[in-house]
Structure 1
């Protein structure tokens, strides 16, 4: 717990910038202390491609959450609660409470650069992880029951910084925004394709989002993969009914 002591000390000396710096430095020593002992795992730690500590990942994830929550000019308590439930389910109540105190500071006081954060994560995470992050950010934006244009625009901007293809972005967005052509967007095909192309697209997307491809013991990651897989299955069933397949 060195990181939390260092964060508190940094806050008293340099206010919030000092807290962030203290948290990062303290995390370094915590990681040294816990190396070889199994340690706690961040929700996406198992599928990063390069070295990125849980503390680094969490700070950047919190910052992205704050960007989306503030996108429409206000801070929604429902969206804040969505993030809180995520951290409780991932880290447990005690650690989540400590993390969420930092999150409150990030949301209410700090301006962060989406481009800087995404460039940092691009070098340290796999493409599939960034898709998972976009899905999570859409979940935050929709938590209050409405996906606003400003929120969609901000997530689209983040997707661009993440170097996510437009077709993958539209596929994930279609899982949250209802429209007549959503089933086709989720499968990443046009409505004019043949029946054989529909079946081929379904097989491709089912393989892409199948939970078995998520090689991790983390329940939060598994749940996210299962949700996306169900959306792919649902989209295919809608097209099947529409075409009589």
Structure 2
């Protein structure tokens, strides 16, 4: 089809020589399209498939909705936390627009954590995906209690995001107080030596340093600061317990 369009356009511009050239160029374009699995049409589809900031916000809000509804009750404190987070991150007007689209369109459909996470996984750095996980735990904790059902839902989402088990357990431990929390935050066992503790602290401080999220919104950077602070607190706790 393209070769004949090229021939006609070429003829209108340069008569018979133009028709020949247009036919040849059209043939090359069609051939390219077959080899490339869709050619120029495929390029436009890829461009359209790119996630815009608005798409990201809707995806993040969709994941938040899964956590909020996980235990069968919709907590007002969790809803307020999410709204405040979005207003702080994107401004009141943009946040309201995101919630409006979500309520009018997305909320009426079944939210697919797998599809959303596949998109985010391809387009977000690992450090940023860790912050998404921290954000989801913060939502669950907004009412003062992180239930087992909520943990299971976040764990499932974390798996779809490609978060490894030790990192998941580290962030989870930031929201639970127990004798092993400090060790889990630093991703070490209770049997670790003092040297192991110091090494783990250096590695975790580097992993969760807020500078790694300078490209993200302010709310994300504050979340990174909170994780960084939890790592420091865990290390200081073990320093006191072990006396080094």
Q: Specify if TM > 0.5.
A: yes
Question: Does 1:237 pair with 2:236?
Answer: yes
Match of 2:98 in 1: 99
Aligned residues: 197
**Which whole-Å CA distance do the structure 2 matches of 1:190 and 1:124 have between them?**
33
- Between the aligned partners of 1:183 and 1:107, the Cα distance in structure 2 is 39
Distance, in Å, in 2 between the alignment partners of 1:207 and 1:104 is 39
1:163 to 2:162 alignment: yes
Which structure 2 residue ranges, 5 or more long, are not aligned? 1-47
Task: Name the CA distance, whole Å, in 2 between partners of 1:120 and 1:231.
Answer: 29
Q: Deviations over 1:42-100 (max 9, x none)?
A: xxxxxxxx953102211111110111111001211111100000111112222222222
C-alpha distance in 2, partners of 1:188/1:106?
Answer: 41
**Following TM superposition, by how much is the alpha carbon of 1:163 offset from its aligned partner in structure 2, in angstroms?**
1.5
- Output the CA distance in 2 between the equivalents of 1:124 and 1:213: 16
Correspondences of 1:200-211 after superposition (within 5 Å): 200-211=199-210
Shift of residue 109 of structure 1? 3.7
State the shift of 1:105 in Å: 4.8
Conserved? CA contact 1:66–1:106, under 8 Å:
no
Superposition misfits of 4+ residues, deviation over 6 angstroms? none
Task: State how 1:15-54 maps to structure 2 within 5 Å.
Answer: 52-54=51-53
Question: Which residue pairs with 1:40 in the alignment?
Answer: none
Distance apart, 1:155 and its partner CA? 0.2
1:79-98 maps to which residues of 2 (within 5 A)? 79-98=78-97
Q: Does 1:133 align with 2:132?
A: yes
Match of 1:117 in 2: 116
- Residue 66 of structure 1 contacts residue 107 of structure 1 at CA under 8 Å; is this kept in 2? no
Residue pair 1:72, 1:151 contacting (<8 A) in 2 also: yes
* Structure number with bigger Rg: 2
Instruction: Show CA shifts across 1:172-195 (max 9, x none).
Output: 000011111000000000010110
Shift of 1:221: 2.3
Give 3-state SS (helix, strand or coil) of 1:143's partner: helix
TM-aligned CA distance change 1:244 to 1:105, over 3 Å: farther
Q: Separation in 2 of the partners of 1:133 and 1:56?
A: 15
| Alignment correspondent of 1:13 | none
Q: CA deviation at 1:233?
A: 0.2
Per the normalisation by structure 1, the TM-score is 0.76
| Cα distance in structure 2, aligned partners of 1:88 and 1:161 | 27
- Structure with more of its chain in helix, by fraction: 2
User: 1:189·1:198 contact (CA, 8 Å) conserved in 2?
Assistant: yes
Contact persistence 1:63–1:106 (CA under 8 A) = no
1:181 matched residue in structure 2: 180
TM-score with structure 2 setting the length = 0.76
The whole-number CA distance in structure 2 between the counterparts of 1:51 and 1:108 is 22
Unaligned runs of 5+ residues in structure 1 are 1-31, 33-49
Counterpart in the other structure of 1:197: 196
Q: 1:128 Cα shift?
A: 1.1
- Once the 2 structures are TM-superposed, how far is the Cα of residue 107 of structure 1 from its aligned partner? 8.1
Q: Would you say the 8 A contact 2:128–2:213 is kept in 1?
A: no
